[in-house]
Amino acid sequence: MSTMLCTKMELNPLKRTPPLPPGPRGLPILGYLPFLGNNLLHKFGDLAGQYGPIYKFYLGSQLCVVINSPSLVKEVVRDQDSIFANRDSNIATLAATYDGNDIGFSPLNSQWRAMRQIFVREVLGNNSLQASYDLRKDEVRKAIRDVYTNIGKPVHFGELSFRTELNVIMNMMWGGVVEEEEGQRLGEEFREVVIKIVDLMGKPNVADYLPALAWLDIQGIKKEVEGHMQSMDRIFEYVVAKCRKMLGGIKKEGKKNFLQVMLELQEKEDSEMSISPRQIKALLLDIVIAGTDTTATTIEWAMAELLQNRKAMENIQNELSKVVGLNNEVEEFHMPKLKYLEAVIKETMRLHPAIPLLIPRSPTQTSTIGGYTIPKKSMVLINLPWIQRDPSSWDSPLEFKPERFLHDNKKCQFSGNNFNYIPFGSGRRICAGMPLAERMLMYLLASLLHSFEWKLPDGETIDMSYTFGAVLRKSTPLLAIATPRLSEPNLYG
């Protein structure tokens, strides 16, 4: 017994703090910052090939850790989720989220928990999603009409899906509150501001990595975001005031927009579900920022894949003919039967995850992952393009094969439990908008593919290269030409 104790005590000095993960050396002060160019994700892949399942680098003084294997993803998002589900906002996101009063960029605290609960249960609950269906439908029908009236002309597919998804979101947020003409004017203004804010949030900001220089705001990013936020705030204040005035009227129509749901919660003074005016604005912005570009870019990638995989396109259209019928328009209730379409969307999100590094996490305390020390406040990134194309988990990983999702139930889930496939993230921070995202992706893509045949303009080929800012976008916009597919012209009316 005493020998055992002695051995243990002698071993204790060996229990030293594990080392930091391996990784490339950068320049003094700037670290790896100058090496990150446009092909950031390729670079992350090269480093994964060189250093293995986990590596680190410095951006200025910020330590970044990249996770490249499903088993280490599990350690981060499941085994130590209570530590790693924290976020540390950068300067632009703080300015754009009413100082982290939103869900996506808030640190892990009781306010985040309450907001997320309100969002998931009340705003995106089944009843609320059901009650906002007509608002989605109006906008999808408008997009179909728009393509129909421009038949024969090349459609800028990314722009079409972005505009439609933003209109869908705006209509769900505050549809019915302003008159149509005023709504269009506000919509245009809103669209411009959102695009600018999202772009700024995706730009690497030197001030984030060299805090000593942050006060200089060298690139002027903070100032620019704050300027756009003033315009955004004006729009929000105006719509909220209008909505408050006519709450009763909207209720009677049977349609219920999200703003109305939130304002009703605000009136519940005693409830845990109560929400402040500032939080309402931050939530509205979260919905737009998290929900628009992500869905639009996924639809554009899906269409790009389908235009070069004609067999998959044929399979979807056959399924649509069978389930919906060429004498009918697509409705959301058709979705559960569109299994091949669902598989196409899943395969698209495997190859082209809209948020390829997830939203960065930042541990609340120093911890150990894969046998390496991860200091408190490091920036932890999950390398989805590497993990979701790993040949040890996926057959012919670079090929677009929706069939792989048709029969394998385990791979079929978006729930974040299969750590080889987490396009919506995983753990406490998993995408809070998943039920709406799935509906929007399926419904818009189904409607466009059911209503029209699509082909590339003569002589065009598809460039599948990407750029990565806030989301993973195609570098070259996809142009496609539509011809009507349905039997009756009034189905486009």
359 is a site residue for ligand HEM (CB under 6 A): yes
The minimum distance between CB 405 and ligand HEM, in angstroms, equals 15
Q: How many CB atoms lie within 10 A of CB 428?
A: 16
Supply 346's token pair: 């899943």
Among 31, 70, 104, 183, binds ligand HEM (CB under 6 A): 104
Residue closer to ligand HEM, measured from CB, 102 or 208: 102
423 is a site residue for ligand HEM (CB under 6 A): yes
Q: Which part of the chain contacts ligand HEM (CB under 6 A), choosing from 219-227, 290-298, 325-333, 394-402?
A: 290-298
Residue closer to ligand HEM, measured from CB, 108 or 481: 108
Supply 77's token pair: 């998002």
Residue closer to ligand HEM, measured from CB, 290 or 341: 290
426 is a site residue for ligand HEM (CB under 6 A): yes
Residue closer to ligand HEM, measured from CB, 48 or 444: 444
Among 173, 290, 307, 323, binds ligand HEM (CB under 6 A): 290
Residues in the interface with ligand HEM (CB under 6 A) total 26
Site for ligand HEM in 105-134 (CB under 6 A): 116
Among 330, 425, 443, 473, binds ligand HEM (CB under 6 A): 425
295 is a site residue for ligand HEM (CB under 6 A): yes
The minimum distance between CB 153 and ligand HEM, in angstroms, equals 27
430 is a site residue for ligand HEM (CB under 6 A): yes
431 is a site residue for ligand HEM (CB under 6 A): yes
298 is a site residue for ligand HEM (CB under 6 A): yes
20 is a site residue for ligand HEM (CB under 6 A): no
Interaction mask 380-419, ligand HEM, x per CB under 6 A:
----------------------------------------
The reply, when asked if residue 431 is annotated as ligand binding, is yes
The minimum distance between CB 447 and ligand HEM, in angstroms, equals 16
Alpha-carbon span 432 to 84, nearest angstrom: 17
Interaction mask 311-350, ligand HEM, x per CB under 6 A:
----------------------------------------
The minimum distance between CB 454 and ligand HEM, in angstroms, equals 20
Locate tokens 């709504």: which residue?
A: 183
H, E, C per residue of the chain: CHHHHHHHHHHHHHCCCCCCCCCCCCECCCECHHHCCCCHHHHHHHHHHHHCCEEEEEECCEEEEEECCHHHHHHHHHHCHHHHCCCCCCHHHHHHCCCCCCCCCCCCCHHHHHHHHHHHHHHCCHHHHHHCHHHHHHHHHHHHHHHHHCCCCCEEHHHHHHHHHHHHHHHHHHCCCCCHHHHHHHHHHHHHHHHHHHHHHHCCCHHHHCHHHHHHCCCCHHHHHHHHHHHHHHHHHHHHHHHHHCHHHHHHHCCCCHHHHHHHHHHCCCCCCCCCHHHHHHHHHHHHHHHHHHHHHHHHHHHHHHHHCHHHHHHHHHHHHHHCCCCCCCCHHHHHHCHHHHHHHHHHHHHCCCCCCCCCECCCCCEEECCEEECCCCEEEECHHHHCCCCCCCCCCCCCCCCHHHHCCCCCCCCCCCCCCCCCCCHHHCCCCHHHHHHHHHHHHHHHHHHEEEECCCCCCCCCCEEECCCEEECCCCEEEEEECCCCHHHHC
Among 206, 304, 358, 445, binds ligand HEM (CB under 6 A): 358
Residue closer to ligand HEM, measured from CB, 160 or 358: 358
Site for ligand HEM in 435-464 (CB under 6 A): 436-437, 441
List residues forming the annotated binding site for heme.
431
List residues forming the annotated binding site.
431
Binding residues for ligand HEM (CB under 6 A): 103-104, 116, 286-287, 290-291, 294-295, 298, 354-355, 358-359, 423-426, 429-433, 436-437, 441
